[in-house]
């Protein structure tokens, strides 16, 4: 008879296998069949975890199905989701992502990027890149933001992302905006990154890309703690600006009062 520690290790291996198989839950069922009659308290606790995990997968598929409501309105069209990250920071670019998902390939746990951990965002970003029909990133620099204002720079970043697509979409699902420069049908969805899998995927790619940019900037200007604050106006960031002044990465139009 396997020890509790051996079964715990097996359970962790089952979780890894299920993740690699696209969260099918099949190996979890095999684990339950193997151990559900083992009455040891530790084994029963693991079986309960397995049941909870399997139920959570069912609930997640229901949630994701609900997030495909807008995509399903256009069954014969190529639908792209677009979203931006970085409108509010005091430093760095605004970054937009655009994604055309393959409707035949499931991606669980898509959500507003702000609601995901950094590790989960990065995991999902790789899965999105692997499974999407097409994706692209666009951005507008801090200099461009100062030149044309943040709203127009956001539109420009989104347009740059759209121009970078290798597959042209028929419809854009946008997080709350209509982009003037893009001459195809657009649907603005309030809180779209919570309601559309396509917009959520775009949000995740944009967030991971911008975070990586700010991590690189942190190595150049460690005094501003960009790795920690990502350019946002935290108390520590504002204190650093007052102590060291501005660097070339700051948005002059955002910090003139500081």
- Tell me whether residue 230 is exposed, middle or buried, using C-beta atoms within 10 angstroms of its C-beta: 0 to 12, 13 to 18, 19 or more: buried
pLDDT tens per residue, range 183-199: 999 999 999 999 999 99
Q: Which residue is it, tokens 């655009």?
A: 98
pLDDT tens per residue, range 50-99: 999 999 999 999 999 999 999 999 999 999 999 999 999 999 999 999 99
User: CA-to-CA distance for 18 and 21, rounded, in angstroms?
Assistant: 5
pLDDT tens per residue, range 141-159: 999 999 999 999 999 999 9
pLDDT at residue 258 greater than cutoff 80: no
Are 106 and 22 spatial neighbours (Cβ–Cβ below 8 Å)?
A: yes
The CA R_g of the chain, rounded to the nearest whole Å, is 22
pLDDT at residue 163 greater than cutoff 90: yes
pLDDT at residue 256 greater than cutoff 90: no
User: CA-to-CA distance for 108 and 68, rounded, in angstroms?
Assistant: 12
User: CA-to-CA distance for 183 and 161, rounded, in angstroms?
Assistant: 14
Q: What is the pLDDT of residue 100?
A: 98
pTM of the model: 0.92
Residue 82 tokens, joined: 């677009």
| Average pLDDT score over the chain | 95
* The dihedral formed by the CA atoms of 6, 7, 12 and 16, expressed in degrees to the nearest 10: 100
Q: In CATH, what is the architecture of 70-252?
A: 2-Layer Sandwich (3.30)
Q: Provide the residue ranges of all domains of the chain, joining segments of one domain with +.
A: 4-66, 70-252
Residue 152 tokens, joined: 């127009």
């Amino acid at each position: 008879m396997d020890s509790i520690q051996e079964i715990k290790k097996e359970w962790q291996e089952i979780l890894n296998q299920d993740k690699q198989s696209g969260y099918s839950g099949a190996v979890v069922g095999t684990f339950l069949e193997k151990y559900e009659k083992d009455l040891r308290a530790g084994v029963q606790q693991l079986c309960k975890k397995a049941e909870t995990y399997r139920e959570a997968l069912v609930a997640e598929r229901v949630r994701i199905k609900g997030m495909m409501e807008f995509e399903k309105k256009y069954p014969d069209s190529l639908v792209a989701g677009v979203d931006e990250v970085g409108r509010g920071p005091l430093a760095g670019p605004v970054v937009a992502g655009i994604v055309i998902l393959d409707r035949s390939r499931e991606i669980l746990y898509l959500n507003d990027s702000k609601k995901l951990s950094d590790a989960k965002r990065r995991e999902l970003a790789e899965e999105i890149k692997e499974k999407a029909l097409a994706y692209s990133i666009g951005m507008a620099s801090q200099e461009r933001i100062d030149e044309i204002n943040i709203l127009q720079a956001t539109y420009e970043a989104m347009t740059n992302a759209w121009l970078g697509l290798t597959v042209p979409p028929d419809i854009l699902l946008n997080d709350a905006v209509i982009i003037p420069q893009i001459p195809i049908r657009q649907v603005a969805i309030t809180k779209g990154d919570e309601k559309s899998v396509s917009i959520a995927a775009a949000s995740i790619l944009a967030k991971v890309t911008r975070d990586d940019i700010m991590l690189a900037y942190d190595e150049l200007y460690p005094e501003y703690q960009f790795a920690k604050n990502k350019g946002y106006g935290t108390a520590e960031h504002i204190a650093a600006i007052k102590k060291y002044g501005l660097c070339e990465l700051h948005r002059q139009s955002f910090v003139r009062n500081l």
